[in-house]
């Protein structure tokens, strides 16, 4: 079930509610680009922590509940959450009229420094350059960060470049990546004008 952008009077509230059910996962997410409560439950503790950080630094309202086949592994849940969040982001943005569109952010966390540059271009692409020194972060497979980001970028129409410049701890690198994504998203979705930020006139 999808519920489109809510409206209060003539002013649009950039929000979207979406549910997605497959044989592997059941996910419900409510996303508001202009803030709100943050409550995340996926059954994967570290991933919940990362999504909460992303929403907090993105200035987003995010209520998300996911139930997946964790007895297999975390891959389906993490990737499908990326799909759902990306779809909710795209629909909440609507025709993308007035948004800044481009943004970037450097975020340090202890010994790690990570960079994000993005464009809500409607031309999805991911460049991910962040080798993980450790394969696991608690019960979270560190390689799943790239899978989440790819699913999120493709489904939100986002050109996304992410890089770890240096770092020795996979926890620190991953957290810096998610925070950098949040900071950049907050800037990119900010309303800075009335028209579409494109020489073509459409995104």
| pLDDT digit string, tens, across residues 70-128 | 999 999 999 999 999 999 999 999 999 999 999 999 999 999 999 999 999 999 999 99
Distance from the first to the final alpha carbon of the chain: 25
Instruction: Output 4 or 42, whichever has higher pLDDT.
Output: 42
Q: What DSSP element (H or E) covers 57?
A: helix 45-58
Contact 57, 183 (CB under 8 A): yes
Q: Measuring CA to CA, how many Å separate 67 from each of 39, 41, 46, 187?
A: 15, 8, 15, 31
In this structure, what DSSP letter does residue 191 have?
B
Is residue 9's pLDDT more than 60? no
Helix (H) or strand (E) run with residue 178 in it: helix 170-188
pLDDT, tens digit (0-9, with 9 covering 90-100), for 151-202: 999 999 999 999 999 999 999 999 999 999 999 999 999 999 887 777 777 7
Strand order in the sheet with 112-119: 102-109, 112-119, 159-166, 125-129
Residue 70, Cβ density class (10 Å: 0-12 exposed, 13-18 middle, ≥19 buried): middle
For the chain, domains (ranges, CATH) are 2-188 (3.30.230.40)
Pairwise CA distance, residues 146 & 91, whole Å: 23
pLDDT at 49 over 50: yes
């Amino acid at each position: 079930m999808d519920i489109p952008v809510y409206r209060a009077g003539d002013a649009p509230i950039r929000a979207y509610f979406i549910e997605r059910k497959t044989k592997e996962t059941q996910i419900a997410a409510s996303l508001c680009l202009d803030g709100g409560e943050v409550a995340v439950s996926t059954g994967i503790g570290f991933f919940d922590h990362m999504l909460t950080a992303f929403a907090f630094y993105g200035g987003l309202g995010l209520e998300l509940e996911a139930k997946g086949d964790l007895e297999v592994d975390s891959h389906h849940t993490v990737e499908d959450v990326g799909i759902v969040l990306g779809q909710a982001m795209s629909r909440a943005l609507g025709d993308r009229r007035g948004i800044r569109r481009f943004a970037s952010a450097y975020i340090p966390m202890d010994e790690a420094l990570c960079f994000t540059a993005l464009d809500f271009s409607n031309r999805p692409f991911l460049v991910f350059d962040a080798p993980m020194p450790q394969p696991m972060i608690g019960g979270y497979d560190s390689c799943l960060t790239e899978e989440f980001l790819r699913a999120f970028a493709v489904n939100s129409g986002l050109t996304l470049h992410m890089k770890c410049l240096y770092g020795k701890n996979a926890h620190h690198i991953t957290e810096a990546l998610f925070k950098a994504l949040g900071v950049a998203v907050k800037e990119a979705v900010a309303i800075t004008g009335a028209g579409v930020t494109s020489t073509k006139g459409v995104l």
